[in-house]
Structure 1
Amino acid sequence: MLDFVNRWLRCVMVAAICTTFAGNGVEAQETRQWELLDTIGDPQARHEAAFIECDDRFFLLGGRGVKPVDIYDPKTRTWTQGARSPVEIHHFQPVVYNHQILVVGAMTGNYPKENALDKVLIYDPKLDQWKWGAEIPEDRRRGGAGAAVHGDDLYLVSGIQNGHWDGWVTWLDRLDLKTQTWESLADAPRARDHFQCAFIEDKLYVAGGRRSSGVTKQVFDLTIPEVDVYDLQTGTWNTLDEQSNLPIPRAGCFSFAIGRDFFVAGGESTIQREAHAEVQRLDTVTNQWSTDSKFAVGRHGTGVIVWNDALYTCAGSGGRGGGPELDSTEMLELNSEANEGSE
């Protein structure tokens, strides 16, 4: 793992030389570009879905409508199909625990007043089977929330109670995955939905998202620039200084962490009709952002996987809102020196 992180940091240092921050008015000379993969088969086109790795295979789950699981083998670049989910599931960040994929904080039903799932839904990749897990307390149910696992605990943060209409919440809840019991923790500094989160050591980083407000006809408008951080050791929240705000506020984006770096990729906003292609990196030591790379095709409503010195994404929507739905797969090699320097 240490060798992997060292190779990644070397790559990041080169990218930082070629990339400038959004606020200084200078065009980047070169930005690393993701590669569209030629795969055997394709996943089913979908958005508001989830993409996650479990035991060296990748799983594309959910999306609008009742969908099968699409399964990708990165060693053979082959897509196959698994079982359909028992209900429609969308707008969630999946997690892996004990070799199973957990869906929590998801929506079901039709736009704009979708319902929140009342239970955790579990997919077993080995058996290609779905089952229901712990019940979510009735007064804490929501969709479009961020989810992350730390040890034997699942953390569920923020979200929206009433689909895309209203009911934004600041809640932080912890599910003990051994005892299947819930605990309410300190509220986040602000409400948000349509985002993802990630742990870096004992700190949970929350960035991106919006307050989807169909009730005021502002479904896409109310994006959140601030970065909020929850410290497990102190049980308290902190908001990074304004200069550490997300450079391009957007929602429907995907987050992940490598070493000390936190990433926000893709997304949708009102500043452009196309989905965003930027993958932006926050150095959590300096709290400075840079543009790390760009997708070949901008997308929102899916995820990014870190596996074997590479990043992967697939599916999602290529534009703001519901389309066009994508079935393409992309990869970025983390230890590639092909993009180092410029002429």
Structure 2
Amino acid sequence: MIAFLRKVLLGCISLLFAVVISCNSDGAEPTGEGVQNWTPLETTNLPDKRHEAAFVECGGRFYLLGGRKVKPVDIFDPATGTWTKGSRPPMEIHHFQPVVWDNKILIAGAMTGAYPREVSLDRILIYEPAADQWTWGAEIPESRRRGGAGSVIHGGYLYLVSGIQNGHWDGWVPWLDRFDLENQTWEKLPDAPRSRDHFQAAVIDGEIYAAGGRRSSASTKQVFDLTIQEVDVYEIETQKWRTLPESSNLPIPRAGCFSFVLGSDLLVAGGESMLQRTAHNEVHALNTETGKWSLMSRFDRGRHGTGIASWENRLYTVAGSGGRGGSPELDTTETLSLDGD
């Protein structure tokens, strides 16, 4: 009976929390003018169902990589709407944010293995689309390895932001590391104001944005609970962090969300949280000049653990999980026209 009452109480708290955090100062969820809905896309062939994966554009093609189990790369040609298969990675890889450099896709800050004590990869993994080939890159210093981290490229450097050391168990870190892509050397930079994992970073006007995510804590049975509202920003030139004002907090805190840059706007899309069993379908946009969020669009199907790619003024997303946790895994592709049609 005590356990039952505890579940009811937690449910009520979660519902109340959802109402509070989804409101801005005038009591309504931030909305954009003409909020659009994403459209399911009929494609030739389907990709593998997967989540905790990555989706990125490189050379006019989209690449769906990684996820639970060892799955081949799925390659999408947006000009023909066709999915084809690429090679399999050398091992299981998941919980990472891919970056593109020199026509190659780099994977750092990834995990491998089974929940809840996944292991962080010890090296950068590289996929070369032109050759459909996987290779291992530089070693990540043993004392700085983690998964579920944000990863961005700027000025010939790869920046690795925050993450978690022990799978979903514990070991959240606020670390910021910089990898010189030419000299193949690592450098420690100032820690972020807070730790977070299960998020994606973004670079806008020489600043790194860390929004969304959580502190995954299977050790305390709080895997989905400890979401992060605050947005932290690192100015690359001055090497200083700041936290945006409370009024710029993410409207619906969630993890497993994915980020995309659209002009000077930071998009935070999808995700999972204790607020609902289904994955989130909201795509929020932060105007980095005003610090205000708006509801930019909604997915046809909520999802987490994937990404967004763009081509000819359209956005695309695919796969991910449609519910909190690992199921159901999706193989659907959706698109959004930035022209409003």
Report the TM-score when normalising by structure 1: 0.91
Maintained 8 Å contact 2:168/2:216: yes
Match of 1:212 among 195, 216, 219: 216
Structure 1 partner of 2:284: 280
Match of residue 113 from structure 1: 117
Which of these residues, 225, 228, 231, is aligned with residue 227 of structure 1? 231
Task: Determine the structure 2 residue equivalent to 1:81.
Answer: 85
The reply to whether residue 40 of structure 1 matches residue 40 of structure 2 is no
Partner SS, residue 182 of structure 1:
strand
Separation in 2, partners of 1:330, 1:109: 29
User: How many Å separate the matches in 1 of 2:335 and 2:76?
Assistant: 13
Within 2, Cα distance between the matches of 1:209 and 1:107?
16
Q: 2:264 aligned with 1:263, yes or no? A: no
| 8 Å contact from structure 2 (residues 78, 311) kept in 1 | no
C-alpha distance after superposition, 1:132-177 (max 9, x if no partner): 0000000000000000000210000000000000000000000000
In structure 2, what is the Cα distance between the partners aligned to 1:31 and 1:147? 29
SS for the counterpart of 2:247 is helix
1:123 and 2:127 matched:
yes
Q: Do the aligned residues in 1 keep the contact of 2:70 with 2:92 (CA within 8 Å)?
A: yes
- Give me the whole-angstrom Cα distance separating, in 2, the residues matched to 1:296 and 1:139: 41
SS at match of 1:92: coil
CA distance in structure 2 between the aligned counterparts of 1:63 and 1:142, rounded to whole angstroms: 16
Deviation of 1:22 after TM superposition, in Å, equals: 3.5
Question: In 2, distance between residues paired with 1:22 and 1:305?
Answer: 29
- Aligned twin of 2:166: 162
Write the letter of the residue equivalent to 1:61.
Answer: L
1:14-33 alignment, distance < 5 Å: 22-23=23-24, 24-26=26-28, 31-33=35-37
How large is the RMSD of aligned CA atoms in angstroms? 1.1
- Aligned partners of 2:111, 2:53: CA distance in 1, in Å? 11
Aligned AA (2:48): Q
Matched, 1:298 2:302: yes
In the alignment, which residue of structure 2 is the partner of 1:12? none
Say yes or no: does 1:195 pair with 2:205: no
Q: How far off its partner does 1:309 sit?
A: 0.5
- What is the rounded CA distance, in whole Å, between the counterparts of 2:23 and 2:79 in structure 1? 37
Q: CA deviation at 1:259?
A: 1.4
The alpha-carbon deviation at position 284 of structure 1 amounts to: 0.5
Deviation at 1:26, TM superposition (A): 4.7
Percent identity between the two aligned chains: 65
Counterpart Cα distance in 1 of 2:201 and 2:258: 8
Shift of 1:233: 1.1
TM-score (norm 2): 0.91
How many residue pairs were aligned?
317
Q: How far 1:113 moved relative to its partner?
A: 0.3
1:3 matched residue in structure 2 = none
- Cα distance per residue 1:208-263 (max 9 Å; x no partner): 00000011000000000000000011100000000100000000000011111111
CA offset at residue 307 of structure 1? 2.3
Partner residue of 1:145 out of 137, 140, 149: 149
1:52 aligned partner: 56
AA aligned to 1:101 is I
Which residue of structure 1 aligns with residue 11 of structure 2? none
Task: Return the alpha-carbon distance in structure 2 between the equivalents of residues 132 and 233 of structure 1.
Answer: 30
Structure 1: 5+ residue runs without aligned partners?
1-20, 339-343
> In the alignment, residue 151 of structure 2 is paired with which amino acid?
A
Please give the per-residue CA displacement for 1:100-129, whole angstroms capped at 9, x wherever unaligned.
000100000000000000000000000000
Deviation at 1:30, TM superposition (A): 5.5
Quote the Cα distance in structure 2 between the aligned partners of 1:313 and 1:174: 28
Mind listing any 5+ residue stretches in structure 2 that lack a counterpart? 1-21
Deviations 1:6-32 (A, max 9, x none): xxxxxxxxxxxxxxx833345769531
